[in-house]
Amino acid sequence: MRNSRALAAVVAAGALVGFGAPSAAAWAEPSNIVAMPSVIARGGHLTVTVDGSSCHAAGSYVESPAFPRTHLKPISGGTTASATVKINHNAHPGAYDITANCGGKPLTRPHAFTVIHGGVRGGVGGGTTSGATRTDMAIGGALVTVAVVGGGVFWMRRRSESKA
């Protein structure tokens, strides 16, 4: 009974190692492409990261219709490589694919990033306009007016209290 349990444990461990070997070999292939930022203006710099130890091979590159072919540089301490690319000034707004070619094996990520016309809307403090808008000027003027009137009322009230 003990021998059959030991044999079953050895067979199970061997099966796990056997099933794990093909997936370990797949890590050498390019397996994932990440583009940061995912939304970018024309002329901006995009960082593309590709997973897979085959991307450390000389001649590995990334390309897209929005930027020229760029060689990948290995990131030390792992199986990842990256490249910083500049988006073409004449790129049309829209979503773009990225193709990585690592060790002669291509991988394409569809709609990896989006090119927009103008600056990126970043929420509060976004850079889509230069200078203050009419709304900004109206709000600022109203706040200054309220401050002047409030200060005048406070000053007049203090003055009348000191006479009494």
> What pLDDT is recorded for position 137?
87
Which residues have a Cβ under 8 Å from the Cβ of 66 and sit 6 or more positions away? 87, 88, 91, 96, 113, 115
Query: What separation in angstroms does the CA of 98 have from each of 25, 31, 57, 58?
Result: 23, 13, 19, 19
Q: pLDDT means per 10 residues in the chain (164 residues)? A: 50 46 54 92 93 90 95 89 94 94 91 82 56 83 91 79 65
Q: How far apart are CA 122 and CA 26, in angstroms?
A: 38
Q: Which CATH class is domain 30-116?
A: mainly beta
Query: What separation in angstroms does the CA of 14 have from each of 4, 23, 26, 39?
Result: 15, 15, 19, 47
